[in-house]
Structure 1
Amino acid sequence: MSQTTGGGAIWAVVVTFARPRVLDSMLGALGRQTRRPDHVLVVDNGSDPEVARVAAAQGAEYVDSGDNIGPAGGNALGLSVLLPRAADDDWILFVDDDDEPVDDTLLHRLESFGREVSYSDPLVAGVGIAGSTYRRQLGVFRRFEDDELCETVDLDVIFGGSLPMYSAGVLRRVGGFDARLFWGFEEAELGLRLRGLGYRLCAPGPLFLHARQVAGTAGLASRTLRTPTDKAAWRRYYSVRNSTVLARRYGGPLASTVAGVGGAAKGALTLARSHRPLGEIILPARGAVDAYRGRLGRRVDPGTNDKVSA
């Protein structure tokens, strides 16, 4: 995967943690795309020599974050490495290591869409395969109905894992991911910040619908995105905390109450019904409290209930 410094390049950031086989598969999938990224940077949150070996074998640049800084921190680090090299009309692509493109033409079709919509509207800051809108009054995300997914779909948020590509020039002006979020909703924070500044985020409706069909989620009736009931307790901590942070920054007067108090209560009830230990049941409430107190960063280690720092 060779580096290109001229306009129109795609610079890809792939954040990974302790799964070199998954990374190897993803890098192989990117290499099979009919429109391959011009340069791929692997950000290793696990300081794993095998990850470094895989990146080198696949022709990708490698950077060791030195610690687990989460997807938010990893994407922010990757952007800081690549953005100085990119031209304003290049794209910065953010790739989850376990969400491979569904076919080998997907990146080509998404780039073509992105070039088309940004040519007609210079305020288009990013494109992706899927996303949602944000109900600011309540601080919740609304799911598009299938019949809304036609032609160009305007979004408030481009989902992670949906090949989100952002204009390098726009990110240079407004900044990238908030590394302090650590895990979850970092793409939502960036999207809402861009939208608040007047930029557009778009998805090609047919590709959006096709992605649902492949995932088996087409036809769902719910208009509000909900947290899966089997989500791990540490994930609920970050979901409640970061969704409350978003509500305080971008929502209406009631939004932080709905996200914080409502999210904490629902999360705790779900965990209690699953007969989880008390230390896990209280994590959603801790997330809400930390959001109100501005305590961001890595506070709970993934897979554990231990506080990392005071």
Structure 2
Amino acid sequence: MTAIKPMSPRPRVAVVIVTRNRPQELRRLLLQLEHQSLPPSDVIVVDNGDCPLTARLCIDAAVLHLRSEANLGGAGGFALGSLMALARGAEWLWLWDDDGWPREADCLAWLLDRQRQGGAAIVSPLVLDAENAALCAFPFRLGGRRLLARMDIQRRPVIQGQVHLFNGALMPAATFHRFGMPDTRLFIRGDEVDFMLRVMRGGGRVETLTGATACHPSGMKEAKPVLGGLLLAAVPPDELRRGMMFRNRAHVARLHHRWAMLGIDVLRYGAYFLARRQPDWAGFRHWIASTGLGLRGRLGGPAVTAAAANPPPAAAPALKATVHHHA
């Protein structure tokens, strides 16, 4: 893409970053933001962690540091940061996970130019694998095929109806006023899908501008092929993320009537956990329990989810006192 001259008057673009105890990744992102040809007017860092280096980085970069005493997850962090950005007068919000960064100095300018021309509710850059820029960090479904190669995807200047949030997604303030904030109850792993589907169901357009690119660790490291590669099962490395993702997938399927996806998940995760030499029954039971929480709308952060999954035993019925009257 060709360079774009900075727009006048300067647009009020607020960057919202959610971080948790990853100062090196945050430093890299803040440095790349400083090199944008169209500098953002505001940078807000929502800190879900307890690393003192995070505050120091924000002071050195002269950006707003919002330290949360509670871990709000990605969903709560983006909701908090976005509300703060709107309260400070932002006209556009540029949302970033702390482990992503823009590749081009003109990334923001290109995204903003596209949003102004087309009026989409969300415009996202193409998110590339941080370790291999020839591949995308997340697949696209195009023409009935699952595509990862950057060259194949960039044959289309714009991809409608698919974005990978929140890795550099640009949104006008009106998107949040119209469709609301990320659902804080989802905490992590699924809030971005729910937000995208909510926007689309409400009539908003979402699109990926393939000429503008960002980097992020590949999501394919968690993708496990099943049924001879016919399906991929996303399996995060730790139990918390697995439980949140399984639960939130079921919630999103129920809320947005994506019953076919839920049916496919039965095959997907049934095959992953059980179609092996030594079936993982504990893993499959965890998937069933987490999926059940999502279908019943039992949402919230880790503490709430644990309480819902392991309710306290019912109290014994109270004994009725009997008063004997003696003549």
TM over 0.5: yes
Residue 107 (structure 1) shift: 2.0
Residue 162 (structure 1) shift: 3.2
Provide the C-alpha distance between the structure 2 equivalents of 1:21 and 1:148, rounded to a whole number of angstroms.
30
Structure-2-length-normalised TM-score: 0.72
SS in 1 for 2:125: coil
Residue 182 (structure 1) shift: 0.6
* Structure with greater proportional strand content: 2
Counterpart in 2 of 1:101?
102
Q: Which amino acid aligns with 2:187?
A: F
Provide the C-alpha distance between the structure 1 equivalents of 2:268 and 2:174, rounded to a whole number of angstroms.
36
SS in 2 for 1:226: strand
- The alpha-carbon distance between structure 1 residues 69 and 149, as it changes in their structure 2 partners (threshold 3 A), is farther
Provide the C-alpha distance between the structure 1 equivalents of 2:107 and 2:230, rounded to a whole number of angstroms.
27
SS in 1 for 2:16: strand
SS in 1 for 2:203: coil
Q: Confirm or deny: 8 A CA contact 1:127 1:165 kept in the other structure.
A: yes
Q: Confirm or deny: 8 A CA contact 1:16 1:44 kept in the other structure.
A: yes
Higher mean C-alpha displacement, 174-183 vs 222-231: 222-231
Structure-1-length-normalised TM-score: 0.76
Q: Confirm or deny: 8 A CA contact 2:236 2:242 kept in the other structure.
A: no
Q: How does 1:198-217 map to 2 (within 5 A)?
A: 198-207=203-212
Q: How does 1:1-310 map to 2 (within 5 A)?
A: 8-86=11-89, 90-118=91-119, 124-130=120-126, 146=152, 149-156=155-162, 158-207=163-212, 226-228=232-234, 231-259=237-265, 261-262=266-267, 264-266=269-271, 268-269=273-274, 282-299=285-302, 307=306
Tell me the alpha carbon deviations over residues 100-132 of structure 1, each in whole angstroms, 9 at most, x when there is no partner: 1123222222222222222xxxxx211001488
Provide the C-alpha distance between the structure 1 equivalents of 2:17 and 2:170, rounded to a whole number of angstroms.
12
Provide the C-alpha distance between the structure 2 equivalents of 1:64 and 1:227, rounded to a whole number of angstroms.
35
Tell me the alpha carbon deviations over residues 208-245 of structure 1, each in whole angstroms, 9 at most, x when there is no partner: 6x979x97x9xxxx999834556433322222211111
Runs (4 or more) in structure 1 with deviation over 6 Å come to 131-135, 222-225, 272-276
Q: Confirm or deny: 8 A CA contact 1:149 1:206 kept in the other structure.
A: no
Residue 78 (structure 1) shift: 0.8
Residue 174 (structure 1) shift: 2.1
Q: Confirm or deny: 8 A CA contact 2:104 2:212 kept in the other structure.
A: no
SS in 2 for 1:77: helix
Higher mean C-alpha displacement, 291-300 vs 35-44: 291-300
RMSD: 3.7
Provide the C-alpha distance between the structure 2 equivalents of 1:129 and 1:225, rounded to a whole number of angstroms.
26
Provide the C-alpha distance between the structure 2 equivalents of 1:74 and 1:240, rounded to a whole number of angstroms.
21
Provide the C-alpha distance between the structure 2 equivalents of 1:147 and 1:46, rounded to a whole number of angstroms.
36
Residue 294 (structure 1) shift: 1.2
Provide the C-alpha distance between the structure 1 equivalents of 2:272 and 2:303, rounded to a whole number of angstroms.
16
- The alpha-carbon distance between structure 1 residues 161 and 197, as it changes in their structure 2 partners (threshold 3 A), is closer
Q: Confirm or deny: 8 A CA contact 1:75 1:177 kept in the other structure.
A: yes
Counterpart in 1 of 2:324?
none
Q: Confirm or deny: 8 A CA contact 1:92 1:166 kept in the other structure.
A: yes
Q: Confirm or deny: 8 A CA contact 1:132 1:155 kept in the other structure.
A: no
Provide the C-alpha distance between the structure 1 equivalents of 2:48 and 2:199, rounded to a whole number of angstroms.
27
- The alpha-carbon distance between structure 1 residues 173 and 249, as it changes in their structure 2 partners (threshold 3 A), is same
- The alpha-carbon distance between structure 1 residues 15 and 235, as it changes in their structure 2 partners (threshold 3 A), is same
Residue 297 (structure 1) shift: 1.4
Residue 54 (structure 1) shift: 1.0
Q: Confirm or deny: 8 A CA contact 2:235 2:242 kept in the other structure.
A: no
Tell me the alpha carbon deviations over residues 62-83 of structure 1, each in whole angstroms, 9 at most, x when there is no partner: 1112111111111011112111
Structure 1: 5+ residue runs without aligned partners?
Answer: 1-5, 119-123, 136-140
Structure 2: 5+ residue runs without aligned partners?
Answer: 1-8, 127-137, 312-327
Provide the C-alpha distance between the structure 1 equivalents of 2:66 and 2:116, rounded to a whole number of angstroms.
29
Q: Identity of aligned pairs, percent?
A: 25
- The alpha-carbon distance between structure 1 residues 33 and 225, as it changes in their structure 2 partners (threshold 3 A), is farther
Tell me the alpha carbon deviations over residues 33-54 of structure 1, each in whole angstroms, 9 at most, x when there is no partner: 1122210101010133321111
Could you say which structure has the larger radius of gyration? 2
